[in-house]
Amino acid sequence: MINGPESRSYSGALPVSVIEVFKEWKCAKGAVAARFNGTLVDLHYKLTAGGFLEPVYIASEEGLEVLRHSASHLLAQAVKRLYPGTKLGIGPAIKDGFYYDLDVPQQISEEALLKIEQEMRRIVKENLPITRKVLTKEEAKALFAEKEEIYKLELIEELPDSEVSIYEQGEFLDLCRGPHVPSTSHIKHFKLLSLAGAYWRGDEKNKMLTRIYGTAFGTKEELEAYITRMEEAKRRDHRKLGKELDLFSIQPEGPGFPFFHPKGMVIINKLVDFWRKEHEKRGYCEIRTPLILDRDLWIRSGHWDHYRENMYFTEIDERPFAIKPMNCPGGILVYKSRIRSYRDLPLRMAELGTVHRHERSGVLHGLMRVRCFTQDDAHLYVTPDQIKEEILGIMDLVKYVYKDVFGFNYRVELSTKPEKAMGDPLMWEKAEKALEEALETAGVEFKVNPGDGAFYGPKIDFHLEDCIGRTWQCGTIQLDFQMPEKFDITYVGPDGEHHRPVMLHRTVFGSLERFLGILIEHYAGAFPFWLAPVQVKILPVRGEYNGYASEVFDKLKEKGFRVELDQREEKLGKKIRDAQMEKIPYMLVLGSKEAQEQTVAVRERQAGDLGSMTLDELVKLLEDKESPTA
For residue 94, the number of C-alpha atoms closer than 13 Å in the C-beta half-sphere is: 13
Q: Element (H or E) spanning 159, and its range?
A: none
228: number of Cβ within 10 Å: 11
Query: 67: which residues sit within 8 A by CB, 6+ positions away?
Result: 32, 58, 181, 186, 187, 216, 217, 218
Instruction: Indicate the SS3 state at residue 397.
Output: helix
What's the length of the chain?
Answer: 630
| C-alpha to C-alpha distance for 379 and 393, rounded to whole angstroms | 13
CA atoms of 282 and 512, how far apart (whole Å): 20
How are beta strands 586-590 and 502-511 bridged, if at all? unpaired
Nearest to residue 65, comparing CAs of 89, 38, 35, 98?
98
- Within 8 A by CB and 6+ apart from 447, the residues are 411, 412, 413, 414
Q: Between vectors from CA 565 to CA 564 and to CA 570, what angle results, nearest 5°? A: 130
Beta pairing class for 491-492 and 312-316: unpaired
3-state secondary structure of 185: helix
- The residues annotated as belonging to the active site are 328, 357, 375, 377, 379, 459, 505
Beta carbons within 8 Å of 259's beta carbon, 6+ residues apart: 248, 249, 250, 251
Q: Is the dihedral of CA 485, 486, 489, 495 positive or negative?
A: positive
In order of 45, 169, 464, 574, 584, the CA distances from 73 in angstroms are 19, 9, 32, 52, 48
Residue 401 burial (10 A CB sphere; 0-12, 13-18, 19+): buried
Identify each DSSP E strand in 207-252 by its residue range: 208-217, 248-249
Residue 340's nearest CA partner among 352, 348, 328 is 348
Quote the distance between the C-alpha of residue 265 and its chain's center.
Answer: 23
> How wide is the angle at C-alpha 247 spanned by C-alphas 605 and 355, nearest 5°?
135
- In this structure, are residues 586 and 603 in contact, taking their beta carbons and an 8 Å threshold? yes
Closest CA relative to residue 459, chosen from 440, 434, 483, 425: 434
Dist CA 395 CA 62 (whole Å): 29
